[in-house]
Chain A
Amino acid sequence: QVQLRESAPGQVKPSQTLSLTCTVSGGSISSSAYCWGWLRQPPGKGLEWIGSFCSSGSTYYNPSLKSRVTISVDTSQNQLSLKLSSVTAADTAVYYCAKDAWGYGMDVWGQGTTVTVSS
Chain B
Amino acid sequence: EIVLTQSPGTLSLSPGERATLSCRASQSVSSSYLAWYQQKPGQAPRLLIYGASSRATGIPGRFSGSGSGTDFTLTISRLEPEDFAVYYCQQYGSSLLTFGGGTKVEIK
Size category of the binding interface on chain B: 20 to 34
A48 at the interface (CB under 8 A from B): yes
Chain A: residues with Cβ within 8 Å of the partner, total of: 22
| Nearest-Cβ distance from residue B26 to partner chain A, whole angstroms | 15
**Stretch of B17-25, B42-50, B67-75, B76-84 on the interface side:** B42-50
Most buried by B among A48, A103, A104, A110: A103
Residue interface bits B12-32, CB-to-A below 8 A is 1, else 0:
000000000000000000010
Q: Is the CB of A47 within 8 A of B47?
A: no
Q: Is the CB of A46 within 8 A of B92?
A: no
Q: Is the CB of B96 within 8 A of A46?
A: no
Q: Is the CB of A107 within 8 A of B56?
A: yes
A118 at the interface (CB under 8 A from B): no
Residue interface bits A36-51, CB-to-B below 8 A is 1, else 0:
0100000000111100
State in angstroms the CA–CA spacing of A103 and B1 once bound together.
16
Residue interface bits B91-108, CB-to-A below 8 A is 1, else 0:
010011111111000000
Among candidates A37, A106, A110, residue contacting B35 with C-beta atoms closer than 8 Å: A106
Query: What residues of chain A lie closer than 8 Å to B96, measured between beta carbons?
Result: 60, 62-63
Query: What residues of chain A lie closer than 8 Å to B31, measured between beta carbons?
Result: 103
A57 at the interface (CB under 8 A from B): no
Q: Is the CB of B56 within 8 A of A48?
A: no
Among candidates A46, A105, A110, residue contacting B50 with C-beta atoms closer than 8 Å: A105
| Nearest-Cβ distance from residue A114 to partner chain B, whole angstroms | 11
Q: Is the CB of A105 within 8 A of B44?
A: no
Cβ-closest chain A residue relative to B49: A105
Q: A63-B1, A112-B44 are in contact. Are A103 and B92 (CB under 8 A)?
A: yes
State in angstroms the CA–CA spacing of A49 and B45 once bound together.
13
Most buried by B among A48, A103, A105: A105
In order of increasing CB-CB distance, the 5 nearest A-B pairs are A105-B50, A109-B44, A105-B35, A49-B97, A105-B47
Q: A58-B95, A63-B1 are in contact. List 11 more A-B contacts (CB 8 A).
A: A46-B88, A46-B99, A46-B101, A46-B102, A60-B95, A60-B96, A62-B96, A104-B33, A106-B37, A106-B47, A109-B44
